[in-house]
Amino acid sequence: MSATNHRTHWTAADLPSQAGRTVVVTGATSGLGAVTARELARAGAHVVLAVRDTARGERLAATLTGSVEVRPLDLADLSSVRAFAAGWDRPLDVLVNNAGVMAVPEARTADGFEMQFATNHLGPFALTNLLLPHLTDRVVTVASNAHRRPGVDIDFDDINSEHAYRPWRAYQQSKLANLLFTRELQRRLSEAGSPVTAHAVHPGYAATNLQGRSAGAAQRLMLAVTNRLMSQSDAMGALPTLYAATQPLPGNSYTGPDGRGELRGHPGPARRSPHAEDDLRASRLWDLSERLTGVRFTPSAPDRRSH
């Protein structure tokens, strides 16, 4: 794969050819996922839209230029995750863990997990590990700079928010989990001698429909006002994902907007909280996630290369 070196104003126009490559994008029916899928398909990749609503997925696919297909996937349902992975029978260059929910009212999944922790972390954790034997290049997971808010940590004593549920804190915890997952995944891949690398990104403050699902009318109104004043478009918010999916980066990289506060701008290195760089937290979360999902780490063979 050809690549473009990082420069301050990297855009989707700088995407190298993705011809011959296969990419799975979760949550691709709108927002960042739709932009990611559109641009990768435009660059020549075969893009699989892994989505809950396949009718919406088909409508989007009909508008895209390039090779696109739609497959059902509900990250809040581990049986759906297993079915998606069981149906995969070919090499996969890139997995983009994009789908997520943000600050939604308290809910439990069919497996009994808190909705945000399940959708944003446990589902991608299981999907990634189940697809690893097929992966040839990289995993890109969409996190958030919300993980850096003061006091955000993994509550191992109440991981499922059974004693107390606070929508934003549950969201922030799940985004910290994304970074710890990426860190531990890369450590395990390197130890196994796998050619696959793990990367995390965040979109900054991007105006997407994800925010419209936040709990409470007052919060939605506040977000609408803030979006108008501070946010960047979903096309700009998707740039870190596109960059991490196609550019030569070291494992465990973290990419976000390069503007002030990492709220807006073009792709550049992003900052993690100290907790997100804690190997003990990463290892502990990984072990817990394996127990909760029943899915274990199974990397591709060390001699596999991108086809």
CB 168 within 8 A of CB 216: no
* 305 inside domain: no
- We report the CATH number of the domain holding residue 230 as 3.40.50.720
DSSP 180-218: HHHHHHHHHHHHHT-S-EEEEE---SB--TTGGGSSSHH
Q: Say what the pLDDT of residue 51 is.
A: 98
Q: How many domains does the chain have?
A: 1
Classify residue 306: in a domain, yes or no: no
| Residue 151 covered by a domain | yes
Distance between alpha carbon 144 and the CA centroid of its chain, in Å? Answer: 10
In a domain, 70, yes or no: yes
pLDDT for residue 179: 98
**Which pLDDT score, from 0 to 100, does residue 67 have?**
98
The per-residue pLDDT for 5 is 47
Residues known to be catalytic: 165
Report d(CA 123, CA 291) in Å as an integer: 13
Separation of alpha carbons 242 and 40, rounded Å? 8
Q: Please give the pLDDT value at position 106.
A: 96
Q: Is residue 104 part of a domain?
A: yes
Q: Could you count the other beta carbons within 10 Å of the beta carbon of residue 59?
A: 12
Count of residues making up the chain: 307
303 in a domain, yes or no? Answer: no
Residue closest to 97 by CA, chosen among 55, 54, 67, 130 = 130
Which residues of the chain register pLDDT less than 50? 1-7, 211-212, 225, 229, 304-307
> Mapping DSSP to helix (H, G, I), strand (E, B) and coil, where does residue 140 land?
strand
Which tokens belong to 46? Answer: 């075969």
> Is position 95 within any domain?
yes
Q: What are phi and psi of 275, to 5 degrees?
A: -60, -35
Q: What is the pLDDT of residue 262?
A: 81
Sign of CA dihedral 156, 161, 162, 163: positive
How far is the C-alpha of 123 from the C-alpha of 76, rounded, in Å?
Answer: 6
Domain of 78, in residue numbers: 14-291
Kindly state whether residue 223 falls inside one of the protein's structural domains: yes
CA 49 → CA 19, 28, 30, distances in Å?
A: 17, 6, 11
d(CA 28, CA 286) in angstroms, rounded, equals 26
